[in-house]
């Protein structure tokens, strides 16, 4: 009994010792996860944000041809003359002028004579930054209206900044007044000519006169030769007053006869220098004739004996030196100053100062308003640039 109790006691002690030792136990964790659904709720919160703008730009690169300098050999200044007199005389005289301008300004020039007044204006508008035009009053107004051509100066002829148009008939014509020209055939230089067409047309309209066939001769010279050759009943062209004996006084518009020189009783003679004198010229107590017929007196020496001036129009502002609308102002002023000097030189007598050319003796500064009488005549007739230049 005592032995059995001892065995039980030993077993209990062993169990206690085992319980006090470290044990390794494999545990399987069973985790139950509860998923919570997240819902986005908009909340206004002021948050400082630095914004960098990314801009995508489409850049169109315009490639333009770089122009040579104005007045260089590669890009000479274009000098345009209307074909109002013989083209050969304009070309040869124009080259003399161009050479003088080059020497004075250091720039290069290129002379040309377009086929008509309208073609001259179109060329100035097509080349707005490099053209100079020697154009008459109506041509200037048309060019100013068309594209903004600007006037640089007006021509002076023997101290006058005006001229007129002359109606010339054969010496034996029965016409004694403008009314007698109703229905008569008419030679004109060009429909763009101020003296050759615009002013006579305005006068005819004011008087209710309707001339007959109009023949566009191509120049003032040809219009006068048309009358001389019997191609038309009358012709119109420019008139500049004659110079009187000993330069004692100037011819007076509206007072003196346009052919006052006929008082000398002798026929005009063209000298070797191309000047047309009566009884030896003013220095010798005679006269110098400056109207359009003097330009063809070498071709037709007896034109003054075969034709006469029937009447004159109102006075007309002289022809212009005009510049393309984008021509540099400083360069234009330099050229005008050089032209003033040129008209005072001997070389000018072989160029724009000769009777075969434009018969200029100087230049004077004018503004656009100087040509308002021409605008008025055009408005009176209802003449627009489209009528002369086309649409």
Give the pLDDT confidence of 169-199 residue by residue, as tens digits: 999 999 999 999 999 999 999 998 999 999 9
Nearest to 239 by CA among 157, 135, 166: 166
Same-domain status, 249 and 366 = no
Same-domain status, 280 and 168 = yes
Nearest to 203 by CA among 373, 318, 319, 371: 373
Distance of CA 224 to CAs 31, 206, 230, 233, 329, Å? 126, 24, 10, 11, 38
- Across the range 94-101, mean pLDDT stands at 97
- Gap between the Cα atoms of 293 and 211, Å rounded: 22
In a domain, 19, yes or no: no
In a domain, 182, yes or no: yes
Q: Which two tokens stand for residue 216?
A: 């566009």
pLDDT in tens, 197-211: 999 999 999 999 999
Domain stops at, among 316, 348, 369: 316
In a domain, 341, yes or no: yes
As a whole number of Å, the end-to-end CA separation of the chain is: 150
- Across the range 45-51, mean pLDDT stands at 42
In a domain, 305, yes or no: yes
Residue 230 is classified by DSSP as T
Same-domain status, 268 and 292 = yes
Same-domain status, 277 and 146 = no
pLDDT in tens, 238-276: 999 999 999 999 999 999 999 999 999 999 999 888 899
Same-domain status, 300 and 170 = yes
Same-domain status, 334 and 299 = no
Same-domain status, 167 and 312 = yes
Domain stops at, among 297, 316, 335: 316
Beta strand extents in the chain (DSSP E only): 77-81, 109-112, 131-135, 150-156, 162-170, 186-188, 214-216, 234-239, 269-270, 276-278, 287-289, 307-312, 316-317, 320-323, 362-364
Q: Which two tokens stand for residue 303?
A: 């034109």
Same-domain status, 168 and 294 = yes
In a domain, 43, yes or no: no
Same-domain status, 328 and 190 = no
Say how many domains are in the chain. Answer: 2
pLDDT in tens, 284-303: 999 999 999 999 999 999 99
3-state secondary structure of 279: coil
Same-domain status, 144 and 97 = yes
pLDDT in tens, 370-388: 999 999 999 988 887 777 7
Domain with 155, as residue range(s), is 77-159+318-389
Same-domain status, 288 and 245 = yes
Q: Which two tokens stand for residue 354?
A: 């000769």
Same-domain status, 191 and 311 = yes
């Amino acid at each position: 009994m005592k032995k059995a109790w001892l065995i039980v006691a030993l077993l209990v002690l062993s169990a206690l010792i085992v319980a006090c030792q470290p044990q390794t136990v494999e545990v399987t964790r069973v985790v139950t996860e509860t998923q919570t659904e997240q819902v986005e709720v908009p909340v206004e919160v002021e948050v400082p944000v630095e914004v960098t703008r990314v801009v995508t730009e489409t850049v169109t690169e315009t490639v333009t041809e770089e122009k040579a300098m104005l007045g260089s050999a590669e890009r000479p200044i274009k000098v345009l003359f209307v074909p109002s007199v013989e083209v050969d005389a304009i070309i040869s005289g124009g080259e003399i002028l161009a050479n003088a301008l080059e020497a004075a300004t250091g720039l290069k020039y290129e002379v040309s004579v377009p086929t008509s007044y309208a073609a001259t204006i179109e060329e100035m508008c097509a080349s707005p930054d490099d053209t100079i035009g020697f154009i008459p009053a109506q041509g200037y107004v048309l060019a100013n209206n068309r594209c903004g051509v600007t006037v640089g100066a007006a021509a002076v002829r023997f101290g006058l900044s005006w001229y007129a148009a002359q109606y010339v008939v054969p010496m034996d014509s029965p016409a004694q007044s403008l009314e007698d020209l109703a229905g008569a055939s008419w030679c004109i230089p060009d429909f763009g000519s101020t003296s050759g067409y615009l002013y006579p047309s305005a006068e005819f309209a004011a008087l209710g006169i309707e001339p007959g066939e109009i023949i566009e001769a191509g120049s003032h010279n040809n219009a006068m030769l048309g009358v001389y050759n019997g191609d038309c009943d009358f012709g119109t062209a420019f008139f500049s007053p004659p110079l009187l004996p000993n330069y004692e006084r100037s011819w007076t518009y509206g007072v003196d006869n346009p052919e006052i020189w006929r008082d000398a009783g002798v026929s005009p003679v063209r000298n070797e220098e191309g000047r047309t004198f009566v009884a030896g010229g003013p220095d010798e107590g005679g006269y110098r004739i400056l109207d359009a017929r003097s330009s063809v007196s070498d071709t037709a020496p007896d034109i003054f004996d075969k034709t006469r001036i029937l009447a004159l129009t109102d006075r007309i502002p002289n022809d212009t030196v005009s510049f393309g609308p984008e021509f540099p102002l400083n360069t234009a002023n330099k050229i005008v100053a050089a032209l003033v000097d040129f008209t005072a030189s001997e070389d000018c007598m072989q160029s724009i100062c000769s009777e075969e050319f434009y018969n200029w003796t100087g230049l004077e500064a004018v503004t656009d308003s100087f040509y308002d009488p021409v605008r008025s005549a055009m408005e009176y007739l209802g003449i627009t640039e489209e009528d002369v230049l086309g649409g």
